[in-house]
Structure 1
Amino acid sequence: MLKPGKSLNRRNALAILGFGAIGFHAAPAVAAAKLGEDGLYHLNWYLESFLDLSEDLAAATGKGKRFAIMWGLKGCPSCKKMHEVHLADPKIENYIRDNFEILHLNHIGSRTVTDFDGRKLGEKALGEAYGIRFTPTIQFFPDKPSGLSALRGQAREVVRMPGLLEPREFLAMFRYVRERGYDTLSFPDWLGKQA
Structure 2
Amino acid sequence: MKRALSILIACLMGGAVLAAELGDDGLHKTPWMRDTFKDLREDLEEANSENKRLVLFIEQQGCIYCKKMHEEVFPQPDLAAFIEENFFVVQLDLHGSTTATDFDGQEDEQRALMRKWGILFTPTLVFLPQEVPEAATAIDAAVAVMPGAFSKGTTLDLFTWVEEKRYELDNGEDFQRYHARRIQERNDVSSD
Q: Normalization by structure 2: what TM-score?
A: 0.83
Alpha-carbon spacing, 1:114–1:179, altered in 2? closer, same or farther (3 Å): same
Gaps of 5+ in 1: 1-24
What residue is the counterpart of 1:71 in the other structure? 58
What residue is the counterpart of 2:39 in the other structure? 52
Q: What is the rounded CA distance, in whole Å, between the counterparts of 1:26 and 1:66 in structure 2?
A: 20
Alpha-carbon spacing, 1:26–1:75, altered in 2? closer, same or farther (3 Å): closer
Q: Does the aligned pair in 2 maintain the 1:129–1:153 contact within 8 Å?
A: no
Q: What is the rounded CA distance, in whole Å, between the counterparts of 2:127 and 2:147 in structure 1?
A: 11
Q: What is the rounded CA distance, in whole Å, between the counterparts of 2:7 and 2:87 in structure 1?
A: 23
Q: What is the rounded CA distance, in whole Å, between the counterparts of 1:144 and 1:41 in structure 2?
A: 28
What residue is the counterpart of 1:20 in the other structure? none
Q: What is the rounded CA distance, in whole Å, between the counterparts of 2:34 and 2:109 in structure 1?
A: 18
What residue is the counterpart of 1:19 in the other structure? none
Return the offset for 1:193.
3.1
Q: Does the aligned pair in 2 maintain the 1:140–1:159 contact within 8 Å?
A: yes
Q: Does the aligned pair in 1 maintain the 2:86–2:163 contact within 8 Å?
A: yes
Residues 1:28 and 2:9 aligned together = yes
Q: Does the aligned pair in 1 maintain the 2:102–2:138 contact within 8 Å?
A: no
Q: Match for 1:154 among 120, 125, 139?
A: 139
Return the offset for 1:54.
0.6
Consecutive aligned runs of 4 or more in structure 1 exceeding 4 Å deviation: none
What residue is the counterpart of 1:171 in the other structure? 156
Other structure's SS at 1:68 match:
strand
Q: Normalization by structure 1: what TM-score?
A: 0.81
What residue is the counterpart of 1:190 in the other structure? 178
Gaps of 5+ in 2: 1-5, 11-16, 186-192
Q: Does the aligned pair in 2 maintain the 1:68–1:141 contact within 8 Å?
A: yes
Alpha-carbon spacing, 1:51–1:189, altered in 2? closer, same or farther (3 Å): same
What residue is the counterpart of 1:10 in the other structure? none
Q: What is the rounded CA distance, in whole Å, between the counterparts of 1:75 and 1:154 in structure 2?
A: 24
Aligned amino acid, residue 190 of structure 1 = Y
Return the offset for 1:27.
2.1
Q: Does the aligned pair in 2 maintain the 1:138–1:162 contact within 8 Å?
A: yes
Other structure's SS at 1:138 match:
strand
Return the offset for 1:88.
1.1
Return the offset for 1:31.
4.3
What residue is the counterpart of 1:18 in the other structure? none
Q: What is the rounded CA distance, in whole Å, between the counterparts of 2:88 and 2:137 in structure 1?
A: 22
Q: What is the rounded CA distance, in whole Å, between the counterparts of 1:56 and 1:117 in structure 2?
A: 14
Return the offset for 1:137.
0.3
Q: Identity across aligned pairs (percent)?
A: 36
Q: Does the aligned pair in 2 maintain the 1:137–1:160 contact within 8 Å?
A: yes
What residue is the counterpart of 1:12 in the other structure? none
The residue correspondences of 1:1-12 to structure 2 (distance < 5 A) are none
Return the offset for 1:153.
5.3
Aligned amino acid, residue 96 of structure 2 = G
Q: What is the rounded CA distance, in whole Å, between the counterparts of 1:75 and 1:95 in structure 2?
A: 27
Please report the RMSD computed on the Cα atoms of aligned residues, expressed in angstroms: 1.7
